[in-house]
Amino acid sequence: MRLLAPLCLGAALLLSSCTLMSFPKVPVAPPPGFIFSSYKAPLMTDMEQTPASTMKTGKATTQFMWILYPTISFAYDDASIEQAAKNGGITKIHYADYEVTQVNVLLFAYTKFTTIVYGE
């Protein structure tokens, strides 16, 4: 019985970190924190022809929650580049970034993923 609590806690921490590996493949992925992460990085790296002037910005966000007991998880919203461009009134996309905020606490995980596009 004494070993059961540490084993359960260890398993919960290990399982909650699985959400750290469920992100789409991106050119730059800063190392995630074990309990909390918040970072912004490029979604595209082909920016040779990108103008350096002020451009319109559009954002689209999706969110994910996971609770171990009872096993419940859900995700919602649209974080596509198309939706971000539509939200910013952009018809010509020059480049895109992404922003991630993630919290992992024992039996609970929350992730917010935002796509940010820049263009005209």
HSE-CB at 48 with a 13 A cutoff on CA atoms is 1
Please write the tens of the pLDDT for every residue from 49-106: 666 666 899 999 999 988 876 678 888 899 999 999 999 999 998 889 999 999 988 7
- Bridge-based pairing state of the strands 72-76 and 108-119: unpaired
Rounded to whole angstroms, the Cα distance separating 34 from 3 reads 23
HSE-CB at 12 with a 13 A cutoff on CA atoms is 19
Is 20 within 8 Å of 30 (Cβ atoms)?
no
Does the pTM exceed 0.85? no
63 vs 56, 68, 111, CA distance in Å?
Answer: 24, 17, 6
Please write the tens of the pLDDT for every residue from 1-18: 565 555 545 555 444 444
Q: What φ, ψ does residue 83 adopt, rounded to 5°?
A: -70, -40
Please write the tens of the pLDDT for every residue from 28-47: 777 777 889 998 988 877 76
